[in-house]
Amino acid sequence: MFSPIFNAVFDQCVSDYHLTDHVDAPHTNTHQAGSLEFLLYEKNWIDTVQWHLEDIVRNPDINPVDGLALKRRIDKSNQDRTDMVEYLDGYFLQNYSHVVPEAGAGINTESPAWAIDRLSILALKIYHMRAEVLREDADSNHREACQTKLNVLLEQRIDLSTSIDALLSDIESGKKWMKVYKQMKMYNDPSLNPILYKSKG
């Protein structure tokens, strides 16, 4: 089963970030370069920094110039996130390249890495919802409501983890086969976004 590894790395990364709790803090990935754990940590670090950038940019008192700079940083982070997901899918494609799918093997609605992406975001939701449960300056109604939400998030992680393990098991056994489509995001591509390519004229 892969999901315990995924969740452990994601939880570690989120915890490591909050040692400084700063979007510009450097990070040290202690996992072996090129390993699955290394890639997962890098993936979650992108997600964690972006989570906090999204918080900062929603400050109603933010200077508009700073807000625009943050929005563009978030756009780049979204592209980095997509690139990392596609890189992770490449890892799994290589890992299962020897598998011959069974006749009639199906295709999943999403690739393993995009499901793992949702697991990474869940780790962030769980961390921050738990922090709300433990907030000493919040009233009991707030904490109880957040505890209810936390319980749902924890259940969701169990279900998603189980589904990811089942998908990877099916791919490994040939019951399903991996077919990955690039996201082909257009808004960051100066040759595909009409606002960008028309501005060159």
What pLDDT sits at residue 21?
97
What pTM value is reported for the model?
Answer: 0.90
The one-letter amino acid at 167: L
Average pLDDT of every residue of the chain: 92
Could you read off the pLDDT of 69-123 as tens digits, one per residue? 999 999 999 999 999 999 999 999 999 999 999 998 998 889 999 999 999 999 9
End-to-end CA distance of the chain: 54
What's residue 182's pLDDT? Answer: 72
Buried b (16+ CB within 10 A) or exposed e, 48-67: bbbbbbeeebeeeeeeeeee
How large a percentage of the chain has pLDDT more than 90? 84
* pLDDT tops 60 at residue 195: no
